[in-house]
Structure 1
Amino acid sequence: MADHEPSSGATGLPEALMEGYESFISGRFLADHERFEELAVKGQTPKTMVISCCDSRVAPEAIFNARPGELFVLRNVAALIPPYEPDDHHHGSSAALEYAVMALKVSDIVVLGHGQCGGVRAYAQIAADPDTPRLSHSDFIGDWIKMLAPAADRLGVAPNPKDSVYVERLEFEAVKETLRNLRTFPMVQVLEHHRHLRLHGALFRIMDGRLFLLDESTGAFEPVCETAYAAAFAEARF
């Protein structure tokens, strides 16, 4: 096999990943080589943490066109963060939050929800029909998305996974729930109080690429960068 051809035999990686790596190493890595060298020597100093969903369609680095080292990203099902629980259990999300806030000293945390969220829809489906089959006996996902219960209660209507309007409302409300949970952490409370840390709620709509930002003074999500968005779609592309 020629040198430029990907080979998954030696590593066991899927061929698509090998091809992607070859494209990266000969393209973006070379273009940003000095940036990577600097990051390797000096370490990372991101100013923003993004808490996003695991969904493969929602990549914060792509949505915000971020360079390597600019975002500290934590991805969980439905972009959820559990409330502060100082016990002996394993808390991966809390550990990542602690590192971002206390070690990296990020100045901003963005909770990024998204449209067509499978975790949000799954909660609505289970809440509407408790007999919905679980993916496994352990039901890790089912236990995780129970955190959406307070968000669903605030909507004041019965969960309906078939109602797209309801699901979208719950997607927005889920972002607010994560913000509430973040503020149960003492370190977040103190830093936000002293204005060393700012929290933001946002939602990316996959269907049309719109980004919405939460105005906590009104509780409403408003679209951002409307001028740039309109300009991008000024001409028919399809």
Structure 2
Amino acid sequence: MTNINELLQGFHRFRLKNFEPNRELFNQLAMKGQTPRTLLIGCSDSRVDPAILTDSAPGALFVIRNVANLIPPCETGGRYHGTSAAVEYAVCNLEVDNIIVLGHSRCGGINALLEGYGANNEGEGYIAPWVQIAAPARDEVLRRWPDASREFKQRACERAGVRVSLTNLMTFPFIRQRVEAGSLRLYGWYYDLENGELMQYDPDKDRFYDMYFGPIPVDAG
């Protein structure tokens, strides 16, 4: 278990290694506000931190994190729309140029979905109805590969879940209008935890492809 003092010591290191050497940047962000060009929708999983994975500077990303990196379809019922509100703010107020949906391997939310959690309305929590957003992904995988291994189905569903979120993004009128006008671009990414590899979705071919960046220099980092 992480001792809270470890987090405080981590903040102290942040002040020494990041804040002080870049005080001017942080002051500009504080005084002038944020102007990120990319909205990244990632999972709450502690192993998949978008800023760390993309080595991004403060202010570069506007990040939404939730269970299984899901985007619900556009709807106005109910009272609380935290994810949709953040999407609206990033697109309409910050006017980002890009939206990335970042899925990953070993996703607990997708695992719960595949296990049928919430299918029978069991429990009184919030996870079951939330992961049902990706039910079309699960249904597609079970239909196409009924005899595949459990691991194959998990990975296929994780990637299909990214596609579901991309589809749901296009149900928001303010996103569709900008995409069709060419001022906003949508991307689907998939991060392989075990191998440290990144894949990108190609909507024209309906496939994910490895994003190969070449050999890593010996002295990198």
Pair 1:199 & 2:186 matched: yes
Long gaps (5+) in structure 1: 1-12, 234-238
Deviates most, 59-68 or 87-96: 87-96
What SS class does the counterpart of residue 86 from structure 1 fall into? coil
- SS of 1:231's partner is coil
Is residue 76 of structure 1 aligned with residue 62 of structure 2? no
How many Å separate the matches in 1 of 2:114 and 2:128? 11
- Give the match's secondary structure for 2:216: helix
> How far off is 1:93 after superposition?
0.5
Say whether residues 1:30 and 2:20 are aligned partners.
yes
Structure 2 segments unaligned to the other structure (5+ residues): none
Q: Specify whether residues 25 and 150 from structure 1 end up closer, same or farther in structure 2 by C-alpha distance, changes over 3 A only.
A: same
Cα root mean square deviation, aligned: 2.2
Report the 3-state secondary structure (helix = DSSP H, G, I; strand = E; otherwise coil) of the residue aligned with 1:113. Answer: strand
In 1, the alpha carbon distance for the partners of 2:10 and 2:170 equals 39
Percent identity of equivalent pairs:
36
Which letter does structure 2 place at the counterpart of 1:45?
T
1:172 matched to 2:162: no
- Give the distance between the partners of 1:28 and 1:160, measured in 2 at CA: 50
Q: Distance in 2 between matches of 1:78 and 1:88?
A: 21
**Mapped contact 1:124–1:160 kept (Cα < 8 A):** no
Secondary structure of 2:194's counterpart equals coil
Distance 2:202 2:144 in 1: 23
Q: Give the corresponding residue for 1:120.
A: 110
Residue in 2 aligned with 1:99? 89
| Moved >2 Å (runs of 4+) | 129-132, 157-162, 230-233
Is residue 175 of structure 2 the alignment partner of residue 188 of structure 1?
A: yes
Mapping 1:4-23, distance limit 5 Å: 14-23=4-13
Q: Does residue 138 of structure 2 align to residue 152 of structure 1?
A: yes
Alignment-mate amino acid for residue 59 of structure 1: D
Q: Is the 8 A contact 1:108 1:198 kept in 2?
A: yes
- Contact 1:112-1:202 at 8 Å conserved across structures: yes
Aligned length: 215
CA distance in 2, matches of 1:146, 1:232: 43
Q: Deviations over 1:93-129 (max 9, x none)?
A: 11000000000000000000001100001111126x9
Give the superposition deviation at 1:159.
7.2
8 Å CA contact retained: 2:105, 2:192: yes
Q: How far apart are the structure 2 equivalents of 1:67 and 1:20? A: 18
In structure 1, the residue corresponding to 2:11 is in which secondary structure? helix
- Residues 160 and 90 of structure 1: is their aligned pair in 2 closer, same or farther, counting only changes over 3 Å? farther
Q: Larger Rg: 1 or 2?
A: 1
For the residues of structure 1 that align with 2:150 and 2:35, how far apart are their CA atoms?
43
TM-score with structure 1 setting the length: 0.85
Q: Which amino acid aligns with 2:186?
A: L
The one-letter code sitting in structure 1 at the alignment partner of 2:182 is R
Report deviation, 1:138: 1.9
TM-score, normalised to structure 2's length? 0.91
